[in-house]
Structure formats: structure tokens, C-alpha cells
Amino acid sequence: MLWVAIIGLVATGVALALAGRRVAFLSRLATSGQPAPERLRYARENVGAEIKAQVVEVFGQKKLLKWTPSGTAHFFVMWAFFILATVYLEAYGALVQGAITGEPDFHIPLIGTWPVLGFLQDFIAVAALAGLVAFAAIRVKNSPKRLGRGSRFSGSHLGGAWLVLFMIFNVIWTLFLFRGASINTGNFPYRSGAFASELTARILPTSTLLEEIGLLLHIGVMLVFLVIVVNSKHLHIFTAPLNVLFSRRPDGLGAVPEMRSNGKVLDFEEADPEVDVFGRGKIEDTTWKGFLDFYTCTECGRCQSQCPAWNTGKPLSPKMLILDQRDHAFQVAPYLLAGDAQKDSYPQDVLALLEKPLVGEEGVIHPDVLWSCTNCGACVEQCPVDIEHIDHIIDMRRYQVMIESSFPSEAGVMLKNLENKGNPWGLPEGKRAEWIEELASREVDPIEVTMVDDKMPEDVEYLFWVGCAGALEDRARKTTKAVAELLHIAGVRFAVLGPMEACTGDPARRLGMEFVFDMLARQNIETLNEAGVRKIVATCPHCFNTLANEYPQLGGHFEVVHHTQLLAHLVEAGKLTPVTPIEEKITYHDPCFLGRHNKVYAQPRDIMATVPGVRTQEMHRCKERGFCCGAGGARMWMEERIGKRINTERVDEALTTDPDTVSTACPFCLVMLGDAINEKKNTGQAKETLEVVDVAQLLIKSVKGEPVASGPAGR
């Protein structure tokens, strides 16, 4: 048995040295990037939330189990790694004890002969084997050779995935070989419970040599697997818990992280482009958390399968965005870690690789990939290991916009309008009050809307943040007036800023122009604070998200609700009573910045459920899997020239429910879906009576018994 111990321990030392060398390299590469002290600080200050995340996401596999077949298979394979660690403890114990005493009958102290443990070890090994079969079937069924872009594995390193499945299979069969042989020689610690090992023992001869070979094979396979794992995509076995630990809470959606340079929040008044880092222009500008994202990507393609850009023929795959950066980082790593002193000795091809831009026609990421993103958050929502794809995209956009001045030309008009007029359309600020005049001048039931002059009146509870679209876009104005009237009927005192209101800065920030966002946000925060505003209701999910989640970064702390949340509360409280039936079949479209980014799914549906006569029909993709309208990420102000239009794809899906009305709760969605519906009407693919309306318009129609007025065509 001594020779077995020598071989096993020497092999272990070699494998650990190789794995350790790789881990040291990965660590040095990650820490060569930008610091991210906020990640460490949050983890320290929110221990309870981080423990919960580890229990729910890592051990409980919550995100993976959203996809039941593959999630269940992964659950058992993952737990096999934990539970079968006890088998390896027994194997090494047998190795050492056999060398010392000649009797490899080692068992774990206290629990080592407990039949329940033997059963659990065998059960999880068999379950993992079944999981491998499921994985193989899923990969064959979803092979890119069969499905092309339709496969979530398109672009993944398929050979590496099959190799890992093969290695896990080797772990399992060598486990049963070793344990079965141990049973026959009398060295097995469990007298019962280990059902699969006992079955294996029946077909094996009694042989000490076979037991020793089985022991070495089992340990050897594990050691080879370890070396493969730290050099492959399955590195996530070790990095996923870390990535979850240092991810943003409650998730990587909602607010865009502050712009940082060298770990500190960038002060635009003191910033120096020659010294400070503006976004991400080269791979070294990535933070260590960004590198951790690279290491953790499992290449499962869940993000890709849900991405509206990828699903409509555009080049953006969130998965490939991460993998392309990872592959480039590994290519240049030896030279980055060597330092600048050796650059003079590098050949031209190496220098060209080092100087390769992160974004560009010949860069790591093509501009069409970068600008296809709608910031819908489907990728972040679906990622089982908490990769924050949007953060990567925003950082690269920041560099392109603020340093390279390279972005779609039509978005430049929007930025100029934001700077000069405070709204994306460049309309005079006085037009923000036109809807107020329209309500006040109605012949029937005129409504006087209070406009903040200097301070919020004491008897006013909410500031109604109307937003640029709600004040200036014809279709969105109908929502604004409906909400104002509903609040008036419910007796809720509210006021508006009118011409003093400016764009929240969301389009600028999502485009990457952080400076313009900073300017607009500080201006609005100052206005709100001077007016004494504490509670805000907003109809636009983009405004809602920015006011609630991003303004606190600049000191703007307000209680912000979306109009559907407030209206649902007023209906529940009996202050609004839908009475007139609306005999229509309605399908609801979840706005991304209301749903995925802020988890508001129930209230819009609750409102519709209270309206008599309404029959609701969900689209196939809804709630957390809802499909984007195409307007987010500043895409509202960019032309869609590649592939199928996202709003057309969404309306095609809505039409499969044969609705009388499409409802939503966002002015951007209202415009985008309305445009697509009008196109369908023009080609005879949609009935002429089909309209898209806000849920507030449905509610006012039922409360007052008045028809919902349709908006004009055009954008």
C-alpha cells in the first residue's frame, strides 16, 4: 500500500502546484485592473444580506431552478461536489492509513460509519449521473449545428463543456469502482446504506489490487479535473460564490453604478482626462469585479436566449460580450503583467494586440454590439452567477461618448437638446404646462392642477413628476391627464413643477454621457430640495428608476412611487372605484424599467383585475421574462437599422393573444408599441380597433364611464 500512497501524494502535490500557479495568475490579472472598494465595503456592511444570497443563490440554486430541467440537473451535480468531498476525505484517509498500517479501512471520525452518510453519498452520485445524462440531452437538443442563432449555446466553447461532462462521469464511475472494491475487501466503512456501491461490489472480484487501482484512479481523475477546471469555463465552480458575494444588491439592475476612477467617485469639476479613467477604453480599465465576471461566466447562454437584441438579429450577445473580453484579457495578460518596461522588446503583432481598442471596427467589441443594448436587464435577471452585463456596457459607452465622441449621430441631437432645453426633443420649457391648461380649460369637469411656485404647499402630499414624454409627447400626455384626474377624484393633493422640471438625465446616463446626467440630476435635486419635496409619483418608469435609485448617489433622497403603485393602493383603499365594464380582452406589456429593474409586476395587473369586464391574457414572455419594447438604453433616440425591429417583435407576440387592447405602464412603451401596431394596421395584420393604452387610461375609463381616446399615429 506504500507505493499507492507515494503515487497518490506526489500526484496531489503536482496537481495542487499547477492549480495554484493558475490561481495566482488569475488573481494577479484581476487585481491589475481598477479597484472597486465599494464592493468590499458593501459586503462588510451587509453580512446578513450576503449570507442570504449565498444560501439562496449558491446553495439553493434559485436562479438556475427558474429553468426547471437544466436547473434541477445542475442542482444535483453541484451538490454532488459538496457531498462527495466526504468520499475524497475517505479516499485520502485510506491512502495515508494504508501506507502507515497496511489496512486502508479509514472512516471519518464520529460520522464515518453512519449508514445515512453512505446512502447520501451514493444517492447524490447517482443523481449527478442522471444530471449528466440530462445535460448531454439538453446540449444535443440545443446544438448550434441544429439551431444556429436559436441555440443558447451558440458561441460557447462547446468542446470544453463536453470535456467537463466527461470528467464528472469519470469521477462517478471511479467512485463506484473504488467503493465497490472496498466492500469486497472489507475496508468499506458503511455496513449498509450505500446501495449503488453494494450493487457495484456484486459484479467486481475481490481484489486488493483492484481496490488500490480504484483508489488511485478516483484520486487521479479528481486531480486532473482540478487542473482542467481552473483553466476552463468551469472555473465558476470556485468563483461563482465570490461573484455572488461581491455583486450589487438586491441585484445588478436598477441604478447604474457611479462613474469611478481609481476606486473613487469621479468629480467632474476636478477630473483630468489625462489622469482619470473615464469608463472603459482598454481591458486594464476593468475593475477586479469585472474580471471576476469574466472568470465566472458559465457560457450557459441564458442571457443570450433572453436578449431582445440577439432575438431580433442584432450582433449583441451578452454572453459573447463577456467572453470576448475574457478571451482578450487572457491573450494580453502575460504582457500586461510583465509591465511597461519590456514593451520595447515586443514584436509588432504583440504591440498591435496590446493597442487593440476595446470597442471599434477592429476592436474587441464591435460598435454595433455596444449600441444594440436596450438596458432591458434580461441578461442580468437570467444570469445564474450574478454577472452584471449592463455595467460592462455602460462603462464602455462612457469611454466611447466622453473620450472618443463616438456614438450614433442621431443620439448627438438628443444630447444637445438635453443640454440646451432640458428635454430630448428640444422643445421650449413652456410646453411642459400645456397639458395643465388643457385640463383647466375643459368644458366638462375642468381640473386646476397646482404648480409649484417656490415651495410645495403644506397641504400637498405628492409631487407629480410628469417627465419629458408625459408632458411633451401627445400619446403620453393622455396618461398624464388620466393620472392627474384619477388623483383628483381620489382626493389626493398633488402639485407639479411645470416648466421648472427638466429631464432626469436617464437618456444621457444610459447613452454613457455621465457629465450631462450629472448636470441635469444636480439641477433637479436642487429644485426638489428647495421646494421641500419629499414624496414623488412618476408615470415614466425611467424617471421613476432614476429618481428612486440613482439620485441618492448625488444626495437626492426622496420617497418615489410609480403611478400604478399609487393607483392600485387608491383602488384597494376604496378611493377609486371602477364601475363601468370594459368588455375587452387585454394583454399587458411589462415595461423593463418598471418590471425587471424595480420588480413592479403586480400593481398594474391588480388595477386591470378590478375593472369589470376586462379579460386578461398574458403574453408568452411576461413579468421577469418580459420582452423589451426597444426604447431603453437611450435607444428611443437611435435608429434601429439591424435585424427586425424590437417593437415589431413584441407586437407580433402581443397579436398572438388576439387582444382588443394592449396595455402598458410606460410612455416609451406606449410610443414604441403604438408605432408597431400602426404599421401592422397599415398592412392589414392587426384590426383597426386595436390600440395601446396605459393602465391609468383603462382605470379612468371605468371610473368615469368614458371611452379611452386613441392617440395619433407617428412617433
CATH code of residue 313 = 1.10.1060
374 and 428 co-located in one domain: no
Average pLDDT over the chain reads 93
> 107-111: which pairs have CB atoms within 8 A and are 24 or more residues apart?
107/189, 108/189
399 and 423 co-located in one domain: no
What is the mean pLDDT of the segment spanning 528-536?
Answer: 96
DSSP letters for 648-686: HHHHHHHHTT--SEEEES-HHHHHHHHHHHHHHHHTTSS
pLDDT digits (tens, 9 = 90+) for 6-58: 898 999 999 999 999 999 999 999 999 999 999 999 999 889 989 999 999 99
562 and 579 co-located in one domain: no
Within-domain flag for 309:
yes
First to last CA, the chain: 80
pLDDT of residue 340: 67
Q: What's the DSSP call for residue 287?
A: B
Burial of 532 per CB tally in 10 Å (0-12, 13-18, 19+):
middle
443 and 550 co-located in one domain: yes
CA 80/CA 440 separation, integer angstroms: 68
Q: Is the pLDDT of residue 238 over 90?
A: yes
Within-domain flag for 532:
yes
Burial of 62 per CB tally in 10 Å (0-12, 13-18, 19+):
middle
377 and 393 co-located in one domain: yes
pLDDT of residue 110: 79
Whole-number percent of the chain with pLDDT over 90: 82
Angle at 229 between CA 227 and CA 231, to 5 degrees: 75
CA 519/CA 268 separation, integer angstroms: 10
Q: Is the pLDDT of residue 710 over 70?
A: no
pLDDT of residue 341: 67
154 and 111 co-located in one domain: yes
446 and 377 co-located in one domain: no
- Its sign, for the CA torsion 284, 289, 295, 297, is negative
Within-domain flag for 224:
yes
Within-domain flag for 335:
yes
Within-domain flag for 46:
no
Within-domain flag for 22:
no
CA 61/CA 78 separation, integer angstroms: 9
pLDDT of residue 714: 33
Element (H, E) at 562: strand 559-562
Given phi > 0 = left and psi -120 to 50 = alpha, else beta, which region is 251?
beta
425 and 393 co-located in one domain: no
Domain of 452, in residue numbers: 417-567
Instruction: Decide: 464 and 483 in contact? Cβ < 8 Å.
Output: yes
102 and 145 co-located in one domain: yes
What is the mean pLDDT of the segment spanning 649-653?
Answer: 97
Burial of 549 per CB tally in 10 Å (0-12, 13-18, 19+):
middle
CA 422/CA 181 separation, integer angstroms: 77
Angle at 570 between CA 439 and CA 536, to 5 degrees: 65
Instruction: Decide: 371 and 638 in contact? Cβ < 8 Å.
Output: yes
563 and 576 co-located in one domain: no
| pLDDT category of residue 349 using cuts at 50, 70 and 90 | confident
Give how many domains the chain has, as a whole number: 4
CATH code of residue 495 = 3.40.50
Identify the domain boundary among 354, 381, 407: 407
What is the DSSP pairing of strand 260-261 with strand 450-451? unpaired
529 and 456 co-located in one domain: yes
pLDDT of residue 709: 43
Within-domain flag for 470:
yes
pLDDT digits (tens, 9 = 90+) for 288-318: 999 999 999 999 999 999 999 999 999 999 9
Instruction: Decide: 328 and 355 in contact? Cβ < 8 Å.
Output: no
pLDDT digits (tens, 9 = 90+) for 60-116: 999 999 888 999 999 999 999 999 999 998 888 888 887 777 777 778 887 878 899
Give me the sheet containing 585-588, strands edge to edge: 615-616, 585-588, 661-664, 691-694
Within-domain flag for 21:
no
299 and 339 co-located in one domain: yes
Instruction: Decide: 288 and 30 in contact? Cβ < 8 Å.
Output: yes
Residue 264 amino acid letter: K
Identify the domain boundary among 510, 534, 567: 567
Identify the domain boundary among 200, 231, 262: 231
